Amino acid sequence: MSADRDIDAWLAERGITLPDSRARARATLEEAKIINPKKARMSEQKLERAEALLAERYFRVCSAPACQPVAYASGRELLAVDPRSHCESCGGSNNRRAITDFIEACRRKGVQNVVVVGGSPAVREELEDQLDGHVQLRMVDGTERHTAEKARHNVEWADLILIWGATELHHKVSEHYTNVPPPVGRKVIHVTRRGVAALLDAAMTHLKR
């Protein structure tokens, strides 16, 4: 005798707990005759088919505004999920949501070239991986020697400069950017909090002004 699973519990494991989302998912599975509308359980042999069908038809998305355009761009139907950890866009990560928001803010404001001064090697690598293909990024190691000439070229090139003061950043490096006079200086943002989300939130606050 084959084992079976409670259908609603199985859906809940995928974040499909909201009444409307659960009803839509069940209707889709019923139409494909994967589940019986009169039964509360389904055979484990059908789980793989059920998973594939829902993944093909729906984009599971949370309520974060930044995740909605990503979901629409998928071409699939949107299916609201809770908690956010099941969102296919951000996975419940503040960093991923901030990156999605930042990319959209840069697109709206025409920002293409971004310089980040400071940050640990791991965080710089994360930013490069996540922003690659969306903005041109130059990362400045805040612990190594950095000439005024190189900083000047970065300032001329950049649409936005983020000075990450709460991280690994020597004063001799940051002062090349903090002493930039206006109007060029208006594109220089000082960030005093740690974390990728905090960095990008500060950048977005500036871009909205």
Based on the number of CB atoms within 10 Å of its own CB, is 13 exposed (0-12), middle (13-18) or buried (19 or more)?
Answer: exposed
Last residue of a domain, one of 60, 86, 112: 86
Domain hosting 71: range is 4-86
Q: How many domains does the chain have?
A: 2
Question: Two tokens at 91?
Answer: 């996975």
Question: Two tokens at 76?
Answer: 């699939």
Q: Rg of the chain over CA atoms, in angstroms?
A: 23
pLDDT tens-place values along the chain, 209 residues long: 458 999 999 999 999 999 999 999 999 999 999 999 999 999 999 999 999 999 999 999 998 887 888 899 899 999 999 877 899 888 878 888 889 889 989 999 999 999 999 988 888 888 999 898 899 999 999 999 999 999 999 999 999 999 998 777 898 999 999 887 777 768 999 998 888 889 999 999 999 88
Are residues 11 and 53 located together in one domain of the fold? yes
CA–CA dist 172, 167 (Å, integer) = 14
Are residues 44 and 115 located together in one domain of the fold? no
- Residue 199 falls within a domain, yes or no? yes
- Residue 60 falls within a domain, yes or no? yes
- Residue 182 falls within a domain, yes or no? yes
pTM confidence score: 0.65
